[in-house]
Chains A and B, each alone.
Chain A
Amino acid sequence: MPKMITEQNLRALIDLLVKEGSRVVGPKAAGTMTLYEPLAAGEELVLTELPRRSAKEAFFPLCETILTYAKGEEGVQVNDIDPARFPETVLVAVRPCDAAAPGILDAVFSWDYDDQFYQERRKKTAIIGLACTKADDACFCTAVGLSPAETQGSDLFLTPLSGGGFRVEAVTEKGEKLLARYSQLFGEAGSAQPLPPAEPGGEKLELARIKAWLDANFESPLWQEIADRCAGCGACAFLCPACHCFDINDEGTEAKGARRKSWDACGFAKFTNHASGHNPRDAQNKRYRNRLMHKFKYYDDKFGKHLCTGCGRCVRACPVGIDIKAVLDEINSK
């Protein structure tokens, strides 16, 4: 029998998880916006808005310390970060476009070298997905092969019911376990009808066709047309659930400090600048091209996936109105 959970019990589940010592991360009001942030109580959960930043930071934080160092009498001491200290985490009310991202990023964070910072968090995190019943005109998940009701990527998946509460679906073993462990909070779904999923508008995209065009069009006037407008900031990359470029820097003094990994963006002018001053991507057209190519060609060539879930954040955030969906529509029609 399908299960359901009331909104009240969903909040109670969060309270319970928090009480048991889990870290619960979910959409939470943060000033003028909603962000995925640690929840102290179920009542903090915001169910009506897509968080401004994606959920990738639950695995790949904006900035994290990867080691600390100190210079003493006996030379330099390097202190490791113990991944065992990463807490068991439940990511709750994650939209399908965000829930799909870790499955895409696993490939790059694990080929040959396991990034334990990412991997350990991934292992310790359960994702409770939430179907979307509303979309805005920037949403385009359906155009890139996902959907507002996509369960892939979630361990447990919630679909809002017309009479309130959520239908609950265990997608993975992790989800089954959550369901079994907190069975007292779940009831029988009975005949309650799920709300219809959201219907993001816009043209469908043929990603294979787009890829074929990218394969053949490293040189194209399109890149300059976009670059004429592109301001070269990192807003698109930083809000994206799939962008994963990062920088590594030491901060502190010579005597004591930390080495940190923080988000970076291929749109930045100095991103590829060599020590010699030579810069392989020395103009914005090359940088925008790399952004699009990486998402829909290079990553596909390498790992068989594309770096886009159609969340629309870059579309909403771009200060100069660059709309990746419009760019893809244009390529799709070529």
Chain B
Amino acid sequence: MCDHSKNIYKPYLATIAELRDETSDIRSLRLVFQDEEVREKFTFRAGQFAEYSAFGAGESTFCIASSPTRQGYIECCFRAVGRVTDALRSLEVGDTVGVRGPYGNSFPIEEFYGKNLVFVAGGIALPPLRTVIWNCLDLRDKFGDITIVYGARTEADLVYKHELAEWEARSDVRLVKTVDPGGNGPTWDGKVGFVPTVLEEAAPAAANTVALVCGPPIMIKFTLPVLEKLGFADDAIYTTLENRMKCGLGKCGRCNVGNVYVCKDGPVFTARQVKAMPQEF
């Protein structure tokens, strides 16, 4: 999308149209490109990422969290943990951020047509799947059953709480939400337990089903064997690797896992691909 005959490091400018605090330190931004032409031409696929900048602080890498079916804006979601994310969080509606992208590969949504989908996410890793979830919900009749297993440490750590409620209310989505033991308040109506355990209990059928998993490395580590046990083949499990990146363009050299450049060859991989990589992610 960026004009690559030019400076590949130069971002588009976008205005913060809306912002929402998901948790005490996680914020979502809705961004609208300032240039009309970019606004019209910018397209992306679910799973792709971008480099977002707060001028004066630098750039950070996040997935595009909104669905490609919703045009005119993109959304991102991040936790304020460093210089850039602190700066992004300090911005207000109407302020300008830089956006470079979209970069990387994407989920092969078309290949999922006619299949059941199971989304498994932990903590702040819901955004990379949320783009796919809405993409699929917006094309609801092309898919079979949709199950979402989402967990966080505590109730307060769940992101997109209003959307969780929306999904819960829909009859065409099965949402299983959970918090880690001890993370539940008095009014919690979801499960209590770690994501892999809750997934095993929920036991979605593996036949004609694709699983999409995203979460901290430890969650992925324990989720893959559960999916395997449930009968999911490695080719039917997708994940997205969120390695540290700077350029997003296959140049700066830090996101590699073995000879795989996550920014260009990924970030979306099947479990089969992940297992073939050196275990260094």
Contact = CB atoms under 8 A, between A and B. Distances in A.
Contact of B251 (A71, A109, A294): A109
Interface stretch (B7-15, B109-117, B150-158, B199-207): B7-15
A275 B82 contact: yes
A111 B55 contact: no
A116 B96 contact: no
A209 B251 CA distance: 27
Contacts of A273: 244
Contact of A112 (B250, B255, B257, B281): B250
A298 B256 contact: yes
Contacts of B108: none
A75 B96 contact: yes
B3 to A, nearest CB: 11
B247 A71 contact: no
B58 interface: yes
B42 to A, nearest CB: 17
A246 B253 contact: yes
Given A69-B56, A250-B55, A274-B243, A113 B249 contact: yes
B258 A274 contact: no
Contacts of A257: 55-56
B57 A302 contact: no
Interface string B156-173: 000000000000000000
B280 A254 contact: no
A168 B239 CA distance: 57
Contacts of A280: 243, 257, 280-281
Nearest to B242: A274
Nearest to B252: A246
A297 interface: yes
Contacts of B255: 272
Contacts of A218: 258, 278, 280
Interface in B1-48: 4-11, 13, 15, 34
B270 to A, nearest CB: 19
A58 B217 CA distance: 40
Given A75-B34, A274-B242, A116 B251 contact: no
A250 B82 CA distance: 13
Contacts, number: 138
A254 to B, nearest CB: 4
B85 interface: yes
Contacts of B181: none
B190 interface: no
Given A66-B9, A76-B55, A276-B81, A115 B251 contact: yes
B124 to A, nearest CB: 8
A2 interface: no
Contacts of B96: 71, 75-76
A111 B250 contact: yes
A293 to B, nearest CB: 7
Contacts of B58: 248-250, 259
Given A78-B11, A272-B244, A248 B59 contact: yes
A108 interface: yes
B140 interface: no
A293 B60 CA distance: 27
A255 interface: yes
Interface in A106-120: 108-109, 111-117
A261 B51 CA distance: 15
B174 interface: no
Given A112-B249, A266-B254, A261 B13 contact: no
Given A67-B9, A274-B244, A290-B256, 4 more contacts: A113-B8, A116-B8, A252-B56, A264-B253
Interface of B: 4-11, 13, 15, 34, 53, 55-60, 79, 81-82, 85, 87, 96, 98, 216-217, 242-244, 246-247, 249-259, 261, 264, 278, 280-281
14 contacts: A69-B56, A71-B55, A78-B11, A80-B10, A115-B8, A244-B253, A245-B254, A250-B59, A254-B57, A259-B53, A259-B59, A274-B243, A274-B244, A298-B256
